[in-house]
Amino acid sequence: MPKRFRLTRRFPVAMTEDGYRRLKKFSAEAGLDEGEALSFLFENFSSVMNEENLTARLRLFNSEIDDRKR
């Protein structure tokens, strides 16, 4: 039997404009709303990401984050 899809958590999220635009684009392409798209990505995180790319991108993002906050 398929798992029932219930959105049980709501939380305020701060996102960059670029990140939000990409979320909107992904969710539209997938036919999902933003909450469903985020749920899909995090439920399937290990199968939809490349660990080497994630590590490199995360390192770059962390190195730029202080400058981006100014």
N- to C-terminal Cα separation, the chain = 50
Can you tell me the distance from the alpha carbon of 1 to that of 33, in angstroms, rounded to the nearest whole number?
A: 24
The Cα angle at residue 16 between residues 32 and 41, in degrees rounded to 5: 35
pLDDT of residue 1: 63
Q: pLDDT by residue for the chain (70 residues), tens digit each?
A: 677 777 778 888 889 999 999 999 999 999 999 999 999 999 999 999 998 899 999 999 999 988 887 7
Quote the pTM value: 0.76
